[in-house]
Amino acid sequence: MGQPDFSFRVESVDPGCAARRSTFVTPHGAVEMPAFMPVGTLGAVKGVLVEHLLRSGTQMVLANTYHLALRPGDEVVAALGGLHRFMGWSGPILTDSGGFQLFSLAKMTRVSDHGAVFRSHIDGRLLEFTPERVVAIQEMLASDVAMVLDHVVPLPNDPHVVREATERTVRWAERSRKAARRNDQALFAIVQGGVDPALRQWCAKRLAEMDFPGYAIGGLSVGESPEEMYRTLEATVPAMPADRPRYLMGVGRPEDLLEAIARGIDLFDCVMPTRNGRNAMAFTDRGPLRLRNAQYERDISPLEEGCPCAACRHSRGYLRHLFQAGEMLGPMLLSLHNITYYHRLMREARQAIGAGRFEEFRRAKLEGWRSG
């Protein structure tokens, strides 16, 4: 990958599809892929202790540049020892550039080729993010993987708007590459292009020419249908370098993870496991359980037989009671269960790819979720 502290190796590709098992080595440890990153936007995965993250099977976590730059500030994080020490997390960390938040949370954003000027959603301060500034913030945070600033637009949208944002994303990526200074931080590019296959391929090829250590697909799961997302992946992934990690940003339904793995994606993040957990939804092999439903009031079963998480030591009835009573333990336990479930799904996917039976595994999981 061109950086001494990083390496990426594809160990096997499933014979029935593009699913691949791989290992991504970072300065803070190796990540076996396909892998899922829990989201710790502000330096914490909501309601989950670091030691519980480790027990759940978490290998790598995500934090957000936009949010941390606004509060407490990248200089504060650096003064406290960098993001790993700040969080108390010794494993790999990826920081998102904040491009999505810049255009979804910030007030009065104005975008030009120079960068984006916006008002903080916290206190209304006028701030500016340029590609160079975003790289500098992430270098202060000292994450293992940093993301370039990209121009995110909602879907559906005018084709001219999507093309303009995609071309700007490519120009910003080139500036980000030139601004990067740390050898112990890998900078990933982000492929944009809406659901236009030709535009996605053009963007991927232009970014590949810049020789980034890794590549992400952004701008999906923002309003398009699952079928449109899958078609976009089928068009985009073959244009991305095969010898670099491929990361699909912000996509988190279990079925979408398996469909994306089948199309060659290695890495994911999403708030869904923790956000849904805080709202009394638990993921299982028989589909999601909505524990506020009265049917679980006297249910003595665990969320899922054989699950090693702390939540599954209790009955569904007890977990439902925690939510009905407003006890904070309920959201904490279900968040932990969902994270554990996602990691188990990724581990089973890796095993299936290694055995050359991922398609069989995918069909069985999809049938289980639908039957529930």
Residues designated as active site: 96, 269
DSSP structure class, residue 310: G
Structure tokens at 172: 């910003």
Tell me the Cα Rg of the chain.
20
Maximum distance among all Cα pairs of the chain, rounded to whole angstroms: 61
What is the b/e burial string over 286-298, where b = at least 16 CB atoms within 10 angstroms of the residue's CB?
eeebebeeeebee
CB 1 within 8 A of CB 7: yes
What is the b/e burial string over 227-245, where b = at least 16 CB atoms within 10 angstroms of the residue's CB?
eebbebbebbbebbbeebb
Beta strands per DSSP E along the chain? 7-13, 20-26, 29-33, 35-37, 61-64, 93-96, 107-111, 116-119, 126-129, 145-147, 186-191, 214-217, 246-248, 267-269, 281-282, 289-290
